[in-house]
Structures are given as structure tokens and as C-alpha cells.
Structure 1
Amino acid sequence: MALDELFDKVQEEKTSRRNVLKMGIGAGIAVIGGASLAGCTTPTPTGTPGVKDLVKIGWMPTDHHAPAFIASTKKFFENRNINVEFVKFTAGPQIMQQVVAGNIDIGMAGVPPVLAALDKDSTVKIVGAVHNNGSALFFRKGLGIKSVADLKGMEIAVPSVGSIQDIMLREQLQKAGLDYTKDVSIKAPMPGGDMIKSLETEGGISAAIMWEPFATMAVQQGAAEVLLWSEDMMPGHPCDTITTTTGFIENYPESLKAFLQAHQDGVDFIKSNFDEAAEIVGGSEWLNSGKEVELEALKHMTFMTKPDETFLAGTETFARKMKDLGILKNDHTRADIFDLNAVNSLGGGTRA
């Protein structure tokens, strides 16, 4: 499959954080802007060296981006003097398509779609980490599935082809002696909420691999049982990244540092105010999943901004696995994947 086919078209929708106003732009992109909607501040005067007046951030409806949600709601972006606009997507490959096209300044996306974009465009760089772990492979409750091998002949949903969940599923099927294209039926793209509905519907999907909070929601709603958490598949695996291009790094270093600082403020808040963080993330401003869901779901992730050695090494592992699977054409190591000058200049950061 050509890489361009990995970028799935998102359906246009209308959304809002406070008054349910969502504006669709392009193919399935929803913009959440304004001071009350995305932590925006008064724009920096035009011409300030190293500063971009408005920084567009690609995000997804997932717990993986909780530090950014917190940074917006708690006005950490405003405190760091950065004006941001959140642009909503449903999967990482879509975000990376827009980062490469220059329509998004900073994308929060999983390691595999970032590597797939880097494989075609060497200007793509990971400048920070978001978290480790945070997904699960789950199946319709009552099917009695005991192992990945039991999934043979079943329909499995993934958020999108080329996502980190898709790559992890491919590897698990391969380990179980199953062929991704012949032994199972893949349904993609499929949003997390639709996965749960399909699991509850006769004739719907049999299993899914998806990010939080949808795994926890599926279990709490009685629709599914977890077969494997992603930390069971690849302990401590890197997941979402903070990614941009060399052009943004070189032209707007102060804006990049400000974003990274605000993101770390969000990480620190989750660590020290977990209950309030769960309430914010699960509230109507963001995921609308509810505090009780988030109190459980957020436990499956370790948040950070500065990637540790486990994150760096795990990213290189993904690059090798994707090359072996035929998804990447080239070899990649941390030397060409990462540009950590900005995040390293901030000093050490705590994990949550």
C-alpha cells in the first residue's frame, strides 16, 4: 500500500468546547479556537523574532493528549505567552499529512505515523514526547477469546491504517502465526465510540485495538473484555510524540519552547492534581467521557515532555519493526528522527 493511502480522509464535523460549535475545515478537520476554547492569548506582535503569532496544534480525542488539554483549560499556554489554535483530527496519519503540508505547526501523533511521514520527508522531526503506553486490544464480551490466535476469522477494528494501534496489531498477529490480510478482516478507519457501538450490535465487529479512554469505556459499559493492554504487547512502548518540521524549529524557536514548557506544565499538573485532571479531561470541554472513566483510563499512561531512553530506544524499535513489515523503505535511528535541542534546553522534566 502506498503511504498516501495511509492518510484516511476524516469526515467533516462541527464541534465545540463550550457551546458545541465545531468548524470543519478541509477534509475532516475541526478547529477549536479563541481564548476560551483553546487557551489562546492576545497574539504576539507581528515580527517578534522566533515567535509565531498563532501556532496551530493537531490533536485527537484521546487521553494521550491530556497534558495539552490541561494546559489549555488551566491557561498554561497563556502563562507561557503562546497563542495556540487546536485543530481536531481522528488519527495520527491525518495529523502528519497536515504537518508535512504546512497546515499544522505542531502535531501530537503516534510514533508510526510520524516515522511514515519522515520516511518520505526528512524535515519531519520529533521534538518531544507525550506519553508511554495507553492502548488496548479488546473483544466483544462473551466471545471467550483467550489468545491472539483465537482472533482468526474475526473482524477487528483499528482507528486507522498506519496508526500505532494498527502496527501493534500487525505484530501481534504475526507472532500468533496469523496473516494481517488473510486471516482476519480489518475495519478502518473507525472512531472509538463507533467501535463500542459495533461491539454492542449483533453482526458488528468482534474485536478492536484502540487508545484510551475507549478501552476503559468499552469495559465499564459491559461491551468488551481486554485481551492485551499495549504495555503487555511492548512494555513501556513510546506512543504519542510532539512533532514538527525543521522549518518551524528554525523559524520559531521561542514558540516551540513555549509550547513544550506549557505541555510540561500540564504533565506536572496531572502528577500533582490527578483527580482534577481526570475531571478536566473527562469533561465536556474535551472528551466528555466522565471523571470516573478517566480516573481509571489515565492510569494506563506515563506522561512526559522530554523523552527518556526507553522512549528513544522504543522509537528506534518501531522503526525497525515497520521496516520489517514493509511499511518503511528506509532505516531510521534517533539521529534523524529526533531534534531535542529545544526540549533539552528546558532542563529536566517530571513524569506523570
Structure 2
Amino acid sequence: MTVARRPLLTLLLAAASLCLTSTARADTRPLRVGWVFAMANAPAVIAEQKRFFAEEGLSVELKSFGDGPVLQQALAAGELDLAYVGAPPVYQWFSRGLDARILAKVNYGQAAVISTAAGPVKTLADLRGRRLASVAKGSGMDVLLRGFVLKEQAALDPEKDLGILPMPPANMNAALDRNVADAAFLWEPFVSQALLRGNSRLVLDLNQALPEYPWYVVMAPVATLKERGSDVVKLLRAHHKAINFLKQQPAESNQIIAQAFKLEAVQTADGKTIAPTAIVQEARKRLGWADALEAQDLRFIQRLMDYSLSLGFIAQPLKVEKVVDTGYWLKATAGVPK
């Protein structure tokens, strides 16, 4: 009887060995990380260039995307394991069935309303009847524009009281220069580039109206958290190091950001040349970096969810607690100076 069972036992042991080998191999695969190509997501660049990922023993494949919706499509297709993306795409796709969690913050601030210095738009009220350049309807920034900037701050109906012209952010300054738009809702570094040229006016700094409001977050599908939870903790530890580097080494980090985002020198109206690193320094007036999700951050994300519901961008109410899990960040930063 014992002899008869040996082949079966041998097969079971072989299968177990194969399973362990496959698991070990899976753990050594690079973590596929997508990120929206925006200055606010500089921690992803810093973590790679300063080898903070490598210090954690983590192999990472970074892939940049032009906007959050396209990145979320890649996540839904299983092409990414984790992402640096705006909070709205996370909860919008969650409402459509992509089970994922927000794990940590990336930045605060970044957006502003600007107009031409000699133009008619000096305050938000002046947007009535005007043309505002902005991003595609339903995107994360569009939620912020329609829900907070226009409805709450300007008391304007975004569908009736002005014309919103969707276009790539890189084209918005040219739209202002050519009088295609009267104002623009955009973010860094485009805001700083316009202001430093001297031909634009700052109408509203969102970081003054909503001090340290969070925008980009680190998120992961629940499948990634289950299969590679230890790697997620390592990535968040590297992310924390990158945040600290941005705060403690501004000169070097400004240089890295200027190179990574291929910033070009700005020419002012009086012929002066402003270096790319000065653009980054100017952007820091409206943009900063932090990774801890505080209570006020969760309240703001809930506010965005409520805007999205009222605007018809999501079909059902959502609670922020269902989409946020700070446990992995707490493990990553346990015993580490915050």
C-alpha cells in the first residue's frame, strides 16, 4: 500500500515544487508602474533616477501616459501593476468595476486659472460669456473645474454661462496668445511658463483656494495587492524617500525635473532668458509633494466623488473609505521619519 502511494506522493511533491518555483519567479518580475506625464508626478522620476527603487531591491518598469483615462485603460487590461494617477480616474473606474485602492498621496496643488495680462478676464466672475481652454469633459481636472472652480467659486453654470474649449494643456498658452481662448485652466509647468513670460495673469491659484489639496495618488488594483503586497510596500518606501529628497534637496531635484520633463528656457517680453530650473522653482509656489493621506485629503477626495455624481460622471454614490487603503503606506513608513 505504501509502495502504491509513492508515485502519487512524488507527483504531489513535484507539483508543489513547480508552484513554489513559479511563485518565486513571479516575485522577481519587474513591477509595471504607469504614471501620468506631469510635473506633479516627479516622485516617480526621482525614485528611479536616485535608485530608490533599486535600494529596496525592487525592479520597476516605468511607463508614462498622457492622461489618466488612458492609463486606467491599461490598468483595466492588466498591462500595469500600479500607477501614479489622479484620484478621480481611480474612483471613476472603481464605479465601473475595476477593484483598486488609493494607497498614498503624491502631490498637492498644481492647477490655476490664467488669462492674458491685457485681456478682459481679471476675476472668475469675468468668465461669464467667455471662452475657457481646459481638458476633456469628464476627466479628473474637468471634475475640479466644473465642480469647484465654476460652480462653487464663480457661481457659473459650466454648461450655459461660458464656453469650455477642450484641448491639450501644451496648446493652451498658444490659444491665449492667439485669442482663441480668453482664459485657461491648466497646471504646472504650463502655468509658470506663462507667468514667467510676462504676458499672462494669474486669476485663481487653486492651492490658495484649497490649501494643499491632493491630486495625484499611488494606486493599485486589488489583484496586485494580493499577489505582490510586499513589493507594493517596497515601492511606497521608495516613494517616501523620493518625497523627502524633493523637500530636502530642491536644487538637485529641480535639475532632475527640468531634464526629465524637457523644459526649455523661457524668453520674457523684455528679452531676458529664464532657465528651466527657474521654471520648476516658480512652479513650487503652487505645487508641492507629500505622501501621507491625511483626514483633510480624504475629505477632499470625497468632495470630488460628490462632484462627479452631481455632474453625471459616475452613476452611484461612493464613499472614500471603500477606495482608500493606507495600510501598505503605514507598513512602508513604520519607524521612518515622516
TM-score (norm 2): 0.83
Matched, 1:227 2:203: yes
Matched, 1:81 2:57: yes
Q: How many Å separate the matches in 2 of 1:310 and 1:177?
A: 24
Q: Which amino acid aligns with 2:293?
A: P
Q: Which amino acid aligns with 1:226?
A: L
Matched, 1:166 2:152: no
Deviation at 1:250?
0.4
* 1:297–1:91 CA distance, 2 compared to 1 (3 A): same
Name the structure 1 match of 2:161. 183
Name the structure 1 match of 2:225. 249
Matched, 1:297 2:283: yes
Q: How many Å separate the matches in 1 of 2:119 and 2:312?
A: 32
Unaligned runs of 5+ in 2: 1-20, 265-275
State the structure with more CA Rg: 2
Name the structure 1 match of 2:234. 258
Greater Cα offset, 301-310 or 108-117 = 301-310
**Deviation beyond 4 Å, 4+ runs, structure 1:** 348-351
* 1:52–1:340 CA distance, 2 compared to 1 (3 A): farther
* Equivalent position to 2:90, from 102, 108, 114: 114
SS in 2 for 1:51: helix
Q: How many Å separate the matches in 1 of 2:256 and 2:209?
A: 29
* Equivalent position to 1:311, from 265, 285, 297: 297
Q: How many Å separate the matches in 2 of 1:224 and 1:150?
A: 15
SS in 2 for 1:256: helix
Identity %, equivalent residues: 23
Q: How many Å separate the matches in 1 of 2:59 and 2:90?
A: 24
* Equivalent position to 1:197, from 158, 164, 174: 174
Contact 2:298 2:320 in 1 (8 A): yes
Q: How many Å separate the matches in 2 of 1:288 and 1:56?
A: 26
Name the structure 1 match of 2:191. 215
Q: How many Å separate the matches in 1 of 2:146 and 2:225?
A: 33
Q: Which amino acid aligns with 1:151?
A: L
Matched, 1:330 2:316: yes
SS in 2 for 1:345: helix
Q: Which amino acid aligns with 1:153?
A: G
Deviation at 1:165?
2.3
Unaligned runs of 5+ in 1: 1-44
Contact 1:71 1:265 in 2 (8 A): yes
* 1:317–1:72 CA distance, 2 compared to 1 (3 A): same
Q: How many Å separate the matches in 1 of 2:32 and 2:112?
A: 29
Q: How many Å separate the matches in 2 of 1:306 and 1:49?
A: 32
Q: Which amino acid aligns with 2:261?
A: W
* 1:96–1:76 CA distance, 2 compared to 1 (3 A): same
Contact 1:91 1:159 in 2 (8 A): no
Name the structure 2 match of 1:347. 333
* 1:262-293 deviation per Cα after TM superposition (whole angstroms, max 9, x unaligned): 1111101011101111111011x334251110
* 1:217-262 deviation per Cα after TM superposition (whole angstroms, max 9, x unaligned): 1111234211111123333322111111100110111221121111
Deviation at 1:160?
3.1
Contact 1:109 1:241 in 2 (8 A): yes
* 1:88–1:97 CA distance, 2 compared to 1 (3 A): same
TM-score (norm 1): 0.80
Q: Which amino acid aligns with 2:202?
A: V
Deviation at 1:314?
1.4
Q: How many Å separate the matches in 2 of 1:46 and 1:84?
A: 19
Q: Which amino acid aligns with 2:308?
A: M
Q: How many Å separate the matches in 1 of 2:159 and 2:104?
A: 34
Name the structure 2 match of 1:3. none
* 1:113–1:185 CA distance, 2 compared to 1 (3 A): same
Deviation at 1:177?
3.4
Q: How many Å separate the matches in 2 of 1:305 and 1:77?
A: 16
Name the structure 1 match of 2:263. 288
* Equivalent position to 1:156, from 132, 135, 141: 132
Q: How many Å separate the matches in 2 of 1:255 and 1:132?
A: 25
Q: How many Å separate the matches in 2 of 1:301 and 1:112?
A: 18
* 1:274–1:127 CA distance, 2 compared to 1 (3 A): same
Q: Which amino acid aligns with 1:174?
A: K
Higher relative contact order (CA 8 A, sep 6+): 2
